[in-house]
Amino acid sequence: MWQLLQFPLCPFSRKVRLVMAEKGVPVELIREYPWERRDEFVDVNPAGETPVLIEPDHGLTLIGSQPIAEYFDEAVERSPLIIGDAAMRAEIRRLVEWFDEKLFREVVEPLMVERMRKRLVNKESPDTRVLREAMRIGNNHLDYLDYLLDHRRWVAGPAISLADFTAAAHLSVIDYLGALDWRGHRQTKDWYAVMKSRPSFRPLLGERMDVIVPPTHYDKVDF
Amino acid sequence: MWQLLQFPLCPFSRKVRLVMAEKGVPVELIREYPWERRDEFVDVNPAGETPVLIEPDHGLTLIGSQPIAEYFDEAVERSPLIIGDAAMRAEIRRLVEWFDEKLFREVVEPLMVERMRKRLVNKESPDTRVLREAMRIGNNHLDYLDYLLDHRRWVAGPAISLADFTAAAHLSVIDYLGALDWRGHRQTKDWYAVMKSRPSFRPLLGERMDVIVPPTHYDKVDF
Ligand SMILES: N[C@@H](CCC(=O)N[C@@H](CS)C(=O)NCC(=O)O)C(=O)O
Ligand SMILES: N[C@@H](CCC(=O)N[C@@H](CS)C(=O)NCC(=O)O)C(=O)O
């Protein structure tokens, strides 16, 4: 069976878990905190980052959420995720990168550092200035999602795709950290309610990171 | 004909140009300086980044080097770039991301800011501390490439792939900016000499960015 080295609040691990669940591929979760920089982990992934996916029986090691997503989309026919004509496939990959890089760097990563890392590792309190700025930019990202969903049924076009799962993975981490303010974002809120109710999403929402408690609405489909 | 919005020292634009040249797809280059944030440009790409590729006759717009590379690898059979079995394809995509994110952020981007942006835009002189640190990390990246090329014929495995063109695109920008020190990196140097001699690489090496002059060895295959 596949083994995923990950931790519950890693958005890239969540993206991989959603992809594998949609594809119907079973996976065993193994807790890995990349900031501990375990020697054996860095030997496997020189970038020292989660997620890493291992198939011990076939000697396969896949590193990074996008190589893993492309792998399963090529290998497993069920629930195709990078779909449509060439233009739509490029649009899906553009948006996946938008969420994985821009949304992550501007919003998710600073929130993870302030609300999780500082608490778990440094035993410091968060910098409220950084938190406020991340939430302000997060709100702009919700505006952009509203705009996309005003023009399309799903994030990248007429069908659900990897762009939806990637966006939802990142938003779910922001939401766990209590930093999502849904007011004024009806389109994205409706879309996220649908995402949350998918069977692939339920296990993620049930899992907890030690010490860090999510807001009560976090795992509710009706929020 | 395709039109590529780019500037000569953008490594992601270089990656796209290499891909298109290898595939034999003609392209017209249009100069775009993303830091000017032209309204019409940001309207097309909300990330405000080069490269952007447009096919006006078919109303196609492709954004970002990786979506563009995946597009041409799917659309044009000649010179396949994401190749081999599933494990090799994942390894190619892992390394492409390694160069596009890690090498870019740690080395190429700070060098571009210090040696190009500050000169062209801010009319400031570079911060030598930042330059030194970027070059130090650049040297570690060359060590890693040496290590890969000690174990494999090409960067990701037994055949040339998108990983080679991506690495070469980033290295060529570092080299243009006079920040590559090849001493002690024979494997990578030999590999780079082969990359430089490919017909797809020649046009890049002939092009100049206004005001910034590359070192004399820059466009020589023998260096
Ligand atoms: N591009 C990678 C990004 C992976 C990443 O940034 N993972 C974070 C955790 S969410 C990490 O391991 N950071 C290093 C650290 O925390 O020390 C992917 O898509 O998988
Ligand atoms: N992930 C993008 C990165 C593109 C990128 O970062 N481009 C740089 C220039 S090399 C840029 O436009 N930066 C914005 C700026 O300079 O204002 C890709 O692969 O195309």
Domains and CATH numbers, chain A: 2-75 (3.40.30.10), 86-206 (1.20.1050.10)
Percent of chain B with pLDDT over 90: 97
The pLDDT of residue B222 is 83
Please answer yes or no on whether B66 and A93 come within 8 Å at the CB atom.
yes
Interface of B with A in 39-98 (CB under 8 A): 46-47, 60-64, 66-68, 70-71, 74-75, 86-87, 89-91, 93-94, 97-98
Reported as a single tens digit per residue, the pLDDT across B27-36 is 999 999 999 9
Please answer yes or no on whether A67 and B97 come within 8 Å at the CB atom.
yes
The pLDDT of residue B213 is 95
pTM of the predicted model as reported, rounded to 2 decimal places:
0.96
**Ligand 2 contact, B8 CB (< 6 A):** no
**Ligand 2 contact, B34 CB (< 6 A):** yes
Alpha carbon distances (Å) from A161 to A88, A93, A166, B63: 10, 10, 9, 18
Chain-centre distance for alpha carbon B134: 17
Query: What is the mean pLDDT of each successive set of 10 residues along chain A, which is 223 residues long?
Result: 98 98 98 97 97 95 98 97 96 98 98 96 94 98 98 97 98 97 96 97 94 94 84
Residues of B in contact with A91 (CB under 8 A): 67
Please answer yes or no on whether A71 and B62 come within 8 Å at the CB atom.
no
Q: Chain B: nearest CA to A124, how far in angstroms?
A: 27
What is the phi-psi region of residue B180: left when phi exceeds 0, alpha when psi lies from -120 to 50, beta otherwise? Answer: beta
Q: Side chain identity at A53, as an amino acid letter? A: L
Interface of B with A in 148-167 (CB under 8 A): none
Ligand 2 atom nearest to B35, measured from its CA: 17
Provide the mean pLDDT of chain B: 97
| Atom 12 of ligand 2, residue of closest alpha carbon | B49
Q: What secondary structure does DSSP assign to B106-162, as a single string?
A: IIIHHHHIIIIIIIIII-----HHHHHHHHHHHHHHHHHHHHHHHH-SSSSSSS--H
The pLDDT of residue A223 is 83
- Total residue count of chain A as it appears in this document: 223
The pLDDT of residue A201 is 97
Chain-centre distance for alpha carbon A202: 14
Identity of the residue in A67, A71, A90 whose CB atom sits nearest the CB atom of B71 = A90
| Atom 1 of ligand 2, residue of closest alpha carbon | B64
Reported as a single tens digit per residue, the pLDDT across B44-93 is 999 999 999 999 999 999 999 999 999 999 999 999 999 999 999 999 99
A30 touches chain B (CB under 8 A): no
